[in-house]
A and B are shown apart, each in its own frame.
Chain A
């Protein structure tokens, strides 16, 4: 499972790791807004520097982050093709026998690509520096004002954290079932279409059966320990903002303001 780098927590210590999860979520939110505002390459250079310094502060190797790009290459090529086929504004850049390529098509794609790259870099930075449970705790806190309009913030957070908690378990389960079926002669890599289909069935059916079994067991275990959805509960770890957190949110706000101003005045 070495290829599952995107979204994996990397257990080291850094300034970013120590930030409050709420800070990271808020800052990410502000930064993503900032990333989608500008239409000027100089502003993107500025944003790239900001994003890279965050990555540098998190002490995550750039190589790790770049690995997250790989699955996106297909999407980017797809975007380019769609844009080239549909956008017909700007000046004519290239004239081929069957198709004309316009400048806006290329630049629009480049903007989208850069935005996506920056966004993925930041998001993987968040997931690499924050434990899944801290992340959901942060989400729960940020959503809790919505409780006034009867939004089940705690329940939603609990569902997210259960889902996150069981991703590694399900991956482990998948590996185990794959190994069992490989031992029975199933070939997951080669074979004809019908053999491949059989291979997938031999994986999916046991996986579902295990997942449901686990779900029932978990529900029983939670009930046995007196879990009541929506009940008032206390926490072992209470989130607290520190000076660095305020600084981080402030910097994000400044970046966003600068980007908005650049859009108005540049």
Chain B
């Protein structure tokens, strides 16, 4: 298991009159080398959960195991910096982390902090920028002058350059145009398939979740309402109704086809897969 939560709770402003319990007795195993999606309504505790993954928040109660690190509530936890090199966290609106004078310097900032030499950091920065599709001609431009979508790419490259084993993304495609969003998601899928990264992705877009996530964690009111294969979640009508989940467009299309008498397997989760099955039937 890459990440294990053991009866973990988190309370904001503990001991104050406006204390708020954001996570309530979470028990959760996130598997290695898989794409896990975290979904749930606003305020259900998704972001709080994610900020535990690289120890930005420390649990109020319970414990958390991440790779070889163990984090226990109310204890002095060491080696957090090493943990942060292994779990890369891309925040919602990651573009706000950009500050260096050039794009390349910004992408190399993370590796440099984690102890790589100047040249090696630059090398890693270049590699990461290449992955997110920022051309070499732009390396010397200021990251603050870019368009929103490009800023987001550079920010994500800043985390990829650290080359973490686990990549955690909080709403990475929010505010991107459909094409840019698709390219981003493709990149994460490739990182998972080719480079065997464990990917955890928080998303509001159930189509992305349905199309790509191996497993899904559904959060509701600070608790885990469902954790298991994504395909099973979207077949479970009771869960969907109880949690006001929007059905993925692909799923709606698939259901309409099945109603018309087409036989389509449960595993067909993307438009391409569905089309292939339909074509096979017609032939």
Residue of B nearest to A205 (CB): B99
Q: Which residues of B contact A176 (CB under 8 A)?
A: 91, 96
**Bound form: Cα–Cα A206–B56 in Å:** 19
Q: Give the interface segment out of A74-82, A138-146, A177-185.
A: A177-185
Q: Which residues of A contact B144 (CB under 8 A)?
A: 205, 209
Residue of A nearest to B158 (CB): A184
Taking a contact as CB atoms under 8 Å apart, the answer to whether A184 and B98 are in contact is no
Q: Which residues of B contact A179 (CB under 8 A)?
A: 51, 56, 89, 91
Taking a contact as CB atoms under 8 Å apart, the answer to whether B51 and A184 are in contact is no
**Bound form: Cα–Cα A193–B104 in Å:** 24
Cβ contacts A152-173/B at 8 Å (1 or 0 each) = 0000000000000000000001
**Which residues of A line the B interface, CB within 8 A?**
2, 10-12, 173, 176-177, 179-187, 201-202, 204-206, 209-210
Taking a contact as CB atoms under 8 Å apart, the answer to whether A182 and B84 are in contact is yes
**Which residues of B line the A interface, CB within 8 A?**
13, 16-18, 51, 54, 56, 81, 84-85, 88-89, 91, 94, 96-99, 109-110, 112-114, 144, 158-159, 162
Taking a contact as CB atoms under 8 Å apart, the answer to whether A185 and B85 are in contact is yes
Known: A2-B13, A2-B16, A180-B91. A185 touches B99 (CB 8 A): no
Contacts A/B (CB < 8 Å), 26 sampled: A11-B17, A11-B18, A176-B91, A179-B56, A180-B89, A180-B91, A180-B94, A182-B56, A182-B84, A183-B56, A183-B84, A183-B91, A184-B110, A184-B158, A184-B159, A185-B81, A187-B113, A202-B97, A202-B99, A202-B109, A205-B99, A205-B144, A206-B96, A206-B97, A209-B96, A210-B96
Taking a contact as CB atoms under 8 Å apart, the answer to whether B99 and A183 are in contact is no
**Bound form: Cα–Cα A73–B51 in Å:** 35
**Bound form: Cα–Cα A173–B13 in Å:** 18
Q: Which residues of B contact A204 (CB under 8 A)?
A: 99
CB of A66 to closest CB in B, whole Å = 15
Q: Which residues of A contact B98 (CB under 8 A)?
A: 206
Q: Which residues of B contact A206 (CB under 8 A)?
A: 96-99
CB of A227 to closest CB in B, whole Å = 26
**Bound form: Cα–Cα A187–B114 in Å:** 10
CB of B171 to closest CB in A, whole Å = 13
Q: Which residues of B contact A180 (CB under 8 A)?
A: 89, 91, 94, 96-97
Q: Which residues of A contact B17 (CB under 8 A)?
A: 10-12
**Bound form: Cα–Cα A210–B13 in Å:** 26
Which single member of B13, B18, B88, B112 contacts A183 (CB below 8 Å)?
B88
**Bound form: Cα–Cα A202–B17 in Å:** 34
**Bound form: Cα–Cα A12–B114 in Å:** 46
**Bound form: Cα–Cα A173–B158 in Å:** 19
Taking a contact as CB atoms under 8 Å apart, the answer to whether A187 and B81 are in contact is yes
CB of A251 to closest CB in B, whole Å = 28
Known: A184-B159, A185-B84, A187-B81. A177 touches B113 (CB 8 A): no
